[in-house]
Chain A
Amino acid sequence: MKKMITILLSLGLVLGLSSCTKKEISNEKVLNLAVSAKIKGMDPIYANDLYSSNEVARVYEGLLEYHYLKRPYTLVPNLAEALPTVSDDGMTYTFKIKQGVKFHDDKAFPNAKGRELTAEDFVYSIKRLADPKLQSLGWWLLDGKIKGLNEWRDKYADQPKVDYTEEVEGLKTVDRYTLQFTLAKPFPQFLYALAMPFTFAVAKEVVDHYGSEFINHPVGTGPFVLPEFKQTNMIVYTKNPTFRKKTFPAEASDEFKEMLADAGKQLPLVDKVVVNILVESQPRWLNFQKGKIDYIGIPKDNFDSAVIPGKGITDDLKAKGINLTVTPSLDVTYTAFNHDNKLFGNEKLRQAMSAAFDPYTANKLFYNDTALPAQSVVPPGIAGHIDGYKNPFIGPNVELAKKLLADAGFPEGKGLPEITYDCPSSTISRQIGEFFKQQMAKIGVNIKVVQNPWPELQKKIKNRTVMLYGIAWGADYPDAENFLQLLYGPNKSPGANGSGFNNEEFNKLFKTAAVLQDSPERTALYEKMNRIAAEKVPWIFGVHRQSYVLFHSWVKNYINADFNAGQAQYLNVDIKAKQEAIKKL
């Protein structure tokens, strides 16, 4: 017995002692980030979720990027030398790409030295996106847009091997550094596509060398290097030693002027980026408060302890040197009707349910009263949103709802079947579902909430086996087209229009607008569509969210943005301030 106790004691000592060894903050500039979902892999063509595409963009780069310090969002050249020259008919785009840009050193290259990037790499990368054998998740972006690319894709779908050497008419190199795209039809959003990680440049040698393991061996031209990706909960990037000359921007919109202190400095500004994957919100929040994470979106339920409504951050956090930044997100939350279901062909019923729903209370409960109840589909901040417009069917207006419900043929909800509401399986989604049920009960509509794992929900939407489902949409690029396409009839599931809404007038307008460059004329069309979407109630509109991000005093240049994939290179860490501040935490 005594022996056993001694063993236990010594074990306890070992465990206890090791926890006392505290780590000192080194002089290396390290950025500590937290993300809330597992990272799937590092292949640009599979980066269809926010989290993976952020990671991909630390290593890989594209032709264009959004200016870090300018709003509204402005495209600027990244690997391109300048913005492209566009032919008069708007169908041919010619890019000059930067010379002397090197891929990361990797053993896939001769002598393990990264070779220079050429225009051919883009041709290869975009063909990879279209490769029928690879099942890329970003093909929709260019589907039907580039001349000859669809034909190339279809041709090799049935053949055992895909031939990358066969030339595609719309995707050509003029010389080593000149790249020419020819579109199949007008596509005003084309340049946005070139700033998305799907079209970032990969090197053929690396893909060939690693084969199916390429997904774990990212080799790009970007500011950070990751020798091998592993499915762990911590990803550590180091500064790319062979990064080209790229400096912090010297111009900024007014609100970001103070960040120009770093103007002209070579990027990236930090030596290391550590990405911590923390799925649960409790550890994420607790780690931030201890200074182990540099910035964090405020978890919904920690909101009250962090922010005083209307006043900003609480004194408690202020004393610790924590800052808050609030930015509207380009998104919309909604509850969609399945328009294939005969029941919802009844417009009055849709309007009634919309009028019964109280987005203001939802805002309070789920977004801490920081979001903006949506009137229609396009969020504020982009052309197509109508300032001051009030949708007549936005609740809470129980009286109107009851009247509309009676007009629809279901007085007091009589004659209505039980309506199912499908949502993802997270705790908040369940609570939102419960709230929706409560709201509908007020007018006698009986709702049953069904939770689904995310892929299951997608499958159900695609197979049209849902009645109602709660979901949200975030912009891929800053153009109302990205929102309006969700209601365009021909985009019906399996396309992006999951609800299956199909309105002739709307479709006609969309078709016209889709080929127009940004112009007052197009904005007018967008607004018209936005209004139809409001009054026909294809969805019950929720809110446009705002993101509240807290960051520690030592983090410099932090801006919250919808399209911030390459952000880490612009962020800076003040080591001295960190050493001071961390003592107070």
Chain B
Amino acid sequence: MNIWVYVLRRLLYVIPILLGVCLIIFVLFNVVAGDPTHLLLGKHATAKQMAELRHELGLDRPWFFQYLDLVKSAFTFDFGRSWSTKQSITTMISEGALPSLTLTIPGFVLTTIFSVSLSLLVAFYRGSFFDRFSVFICVGLMSISSLAYILFGQWFFAYYLGWFEISGYDSEFPNWIPYVQLPVLIWIILSIGPDLRFFRTIMLDEVYQDYVRTARSKGLGEKVILFKHVLKNAMIPIITYVVIQIPFLILGALLIESFFGIPGLGGITLNAINSSDFPVIRAMTVLSAVAYIIFSVITDVLYTIVDPRVRLK
């Protein structure tokens, strides 16, 4: 099959998924969101005012049209205005995306580099004490709540030892670096466990493949096998795993951003949850779902380019 036909087919499949995502979001949030009039009108609203407002927001129209609006917003990225702050949601998102990314991208890149290289090391020393020890540490790191890391990290490293900024942010380029150091570090600690565990499994899967035996029987050194063959083959699942994480980077980090005062999308989301600001919650959900769908298409296409057998399935 031609690659372009495959890409086209994959893209067409996006449509039902997107409609479905919008449907779920619509159902869930329209059940709960119910009545925005209170948030918008404050304490002293009259019934008449409420009815007017509902009309103005289009909440008295048939649900099908309201659903279509939601679908439209997934394409146009026009989400209207927040109920609690009256700010344009699109502006909120575009202003919040950058701070989130300055936290999540370094965290993500560093974690990936660390865990891939570590997983190669543990694959090399598989079964040894070092292997078991690293796995144990990883699992240990994963077993502590993120909130505990944040509370303790901020108090101990930033305040007590004074190594990092306690909190804050600066939107100018080099100036934000000191503010994101500790958050990035916490991000790495939080995500290195699952990553390393997954990559190790992939590496070990490859290590036991036939081609490795063949290579070994040809007398190639273990290091050469590991770097030349195993790593190369393991790259496919690793890339898939990594690429699919990217859309979630936009969402930022709920708790980290809130504690470290980073004005990103995570903090915006958290704030929206706390103030029942449903248009914002809905917009963030649609945004991340769309990003996820786009990146899963990219992953699939990449995958078929690397490994053409997949297309035949």
Contact = CB atoms under 8 A, between A and B. Distances in A.
Interface of A: 1, 4, 7-8, 11, 14-15, 18-19, 21, 38, 40-41, 43, 46, 48, 132, 135, 137, 139-140, 143, 157, 212-213, 215-216, 230-234, 276-280, 282-283, 286-287, 289-290, 292, 425, 453-456, 458-459, 462, 494-496
B38 A233 contact: no
B12 to A, nearest CB: 37
Contacts of A283: 154, 166-167, 259-261
A41 B95 contact: no
A135 B227 CA distance: 65
Given A19-B181, A38-B271, A455-B275, A231 B85 contact: yes
Nearest to B278: A455
B7 to A, nearest CB: 33
A286 B261 contact: no
A135 B38 CA distance: 11
Contacts of A21: 178
B42 interface: yes
Interface string B93-111: 0011001000000000010
A459 B52 CA distance: 18
Contact of A215 (B46, B87, B167): B87
B181 A1 contact: no
Interface stretch (B71-79, B156-164, B299-307): B156-164
Interface in B253-273: 258-263, 267-268, 271, 273
A135 B261 contact: no
B134 interface: no
6 contacts: A19-B163, A132-B49, A279-B271, A290-B159, A425-B274, A494-B44
Nearest to B178: A19
B84 interface: yes
Nearest to B47: A494
A8 B99 CA distance: 23
A495 B44 CA distance: 5
A459 to B, nearest CB: 5
A66 B41 CA distance: 28
B174 interface: yes
Contact of B95 (A14, A232, A290, A496): A232
Which of B92, B95, B113, B276 has the most chain A CB within a 10 Å cutoff? Answer: B276
A579 B104 CA distance: 36
A231 B95 contact: yes
Interface residues of B, number: 63
Contacts of B28: none
Contact of A40 (B48, B84, B95, B258): B84
B168 interface: yes
- Top 3 A-B pairs ranked by shortest CB distance? A140-B44, A283-B167, A137-B42
Given A286-B159, A455-B38, A233 B45 contact: no
B212 interface: no
Interface string B56-96: 00000000000000000000000001001111100110011
B53 interface: yes
A426 to B, nearest CB: 9
B117 interface: yes
Contacts of B110: 8, 11
Contacts of B26: none
Interface string B24-55: 00000000000100111111111011001100
Interface in B123-174: 151, 154-155, 158-159, 162-171, 174
A286 B85 contact: no
B177 interface: yes
A458 B43 contact: yes
Given A230-B95, A286-B154, A425-B274, A135 B41 contact: yes
Contact of B96 (A14, A43, A137, A231): A231
Contacts of B162: 290
Contacts of A287: 166-168
Contact of A231 (B48, B52, B92, B117): B92
Contacts of B113: 4, 7-8
A289 B155 CA distance: 12
A462 B38 contact: yes
Contacts of B42: 48, 135, 137, 140
A43 B159 CA distance: 36
A278 B169 CA distance: 11
A212 B81 contact: yes
Nearest to B175: A18
A91 B159 CA distance: 58
Given A19-B181, A280-B258, A455-B39, A233 B166 contact: no
A278 B261 contact: yes
A442 to B, nearest CB: 33
A32 B291 CA distance: 38
Nearest to A458: B38
A157 B120 CA distance: 70
